[in-house]
C-alpha cells in the first residue's frame, strides 16, 4: 500500500498481521518489515501508531491477553453444566489451540518486550498468569456449587492445568494433541476432587 494511504483499523490490521507471522514463522521472524509486508501497508504506518517495534509487540501481547475476557466469561458461565473435566479440557484446548503458545514464546524470547510488559503486568508470565486466573475463577464457582470438594486446592490446581496444557501444545510445528490426551491430563489433575467421582 502506498505511503499516505489510510488504512482502516490500522492497529488491529497490524496486530492480525503480526499474529499470522508469529504463527507461521515464529518469534524470531517478527520484524517491522515482516509485519507491514504481511499487513500490506507502508512501514511508516506502524511507526505512526507505536513509539517503536518493541512497544508494538508489547501492545500486541496486551491485546491478545484482553481477548481472554470472553473466554473467561464463557468458562464461568459453563459452571454447573456438563462435567468439570469437559469444561476444563475445552478451555485448555481453546486457549492453547489459539495464538497463546506463540505469544508466550514471543514474551520469553524478547527481553525488551518482557521489560515493557512488566510495567503493566509486574508478576508472572503474561497470558499464562491471566489464563491461570481464568481457571481458578471457574474452579472457585464449581467449588461453591459443590461440584468439586470444599477443600480443593485451587491455587495449586489452576497453574498445574495451565502449565501442563502449555506443555501439551508447546511444539509449534507439531500436530496438536488429540482431544483424548487433553481430557486425560485434565481428569488426572482433578482426580479425587469430588468425593462422588463425577468429574469425568
Q: What is the pLDDT of residues 64-119, one digit of tens each?
A: 888 888 999 999 999 999 999 999 999 999 998 878 888 888 988 898 998 898 88
Q: Could you tell me the three cell numbers for 153?
A: 486446592
- pLDDT band, very low/low/confident/very high, at 172 (cuts 50, 70, 90): low
pLDDT (0 to 100) of residue 187: 93
Q: Could you tell me the three cell numbers for 52?
A: 517503536
d(CA 198, CA 6): 56
d(CA 177, CA 182): 7
Q: Could you tell me the three cell numbers for 108?
A: 520469553
pLDDT (0 to 100) of residue 1: 40
- Cα-Cα-Cα-Cα dihedral of 152, 157, 158, 161, to 10°? -140
d(CA 7, CA 98): 26
Question: In the predicted model, is pLDDT for residue 188 greater than 50?
Answer: yes
pLDDT (0 to 100) of residue 4: 43
Question: In the predicted model, is pLDDT for residue 26 greater than 90?
Answer: no
Question: In the predicted model, is pLDDT for residue 3 greater than 60?
Answer: no
Question: In the predicted model, is pLDDT for residue 126 greater than 80?
Answer: yes
Domains within the chain, CATH numbers bracketed: 10-49 (1.10.10.60), 67-190 (1.10.357.10)
For the four alpha carbons of 180, 183, 184 and 185, in that order, the dihedral sign comes to positive
pLDDT (0 to 100) of residue 2: 43
Contact of 130 with 66, CB cutoff 8 Å: no
d(CA 179, CA 182): 5
From residue 139, alpha-carbon distances to 16, 118, 195 in Å are 32, 27, 16
Amino acid at each position: 500500500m502506498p505511503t499516505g494511504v489510510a488504512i482502516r483499523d490500522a492497529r488491529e490490521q497490524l496486530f492480525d498481521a503480526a499474529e499470522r507471522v508469529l504463527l507461521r514463522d515464529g518469534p524470531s521472524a517478527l520484524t517491522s518489515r515482516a509485519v507491514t509486508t504481511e499487513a500490506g501497508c507502508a512501514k511508516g504506518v506502524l511507526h505512526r501508531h507505536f513509539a517503536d517495534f518493541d512497544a508494538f509487540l508489547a501492545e500486541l501481547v496486551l491485546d491478545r491477553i484482553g481477548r481472554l475476557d470472553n473466554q473467561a466469561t464463557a468458562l464461568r458461565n459453563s459452571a454447573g453444566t456438563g462435567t468439570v473435566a469437559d469444561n476444563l479440557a475445552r478451555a485448555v484446548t481453546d486457549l492453547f489451540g489459539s495464538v497463546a503458545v506463540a505469544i508466550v514464546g514471543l514474551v520469553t524470547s524478547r527481553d525488551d518486550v518482557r521489560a515493557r510488559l512488566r510495567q503493566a503486568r509486574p508478576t508472572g508470565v503474561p497470558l499464562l498468569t491471566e489464563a491461570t486466573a481464568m481457571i481458578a475463577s471457574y474452579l472457585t464457582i464449581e467449588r461453591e456449587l459443590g461440584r468439586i470438594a470444599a477443600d480443593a486446592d485451587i491455587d495449586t490446581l489452576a497453574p498445574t492445568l495451565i502449565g501442563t496444557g502449555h506443555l501439551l501444545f508447546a511444539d509449534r510445528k507439531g500436530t496438536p494433541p488429540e482431544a483424548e490426551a487433553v481430557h486425560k491430563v485434565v481428569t488426572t489433575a482433578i482426580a479425587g476432587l469430588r468425593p462422588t467421582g463425577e468429574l469425568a
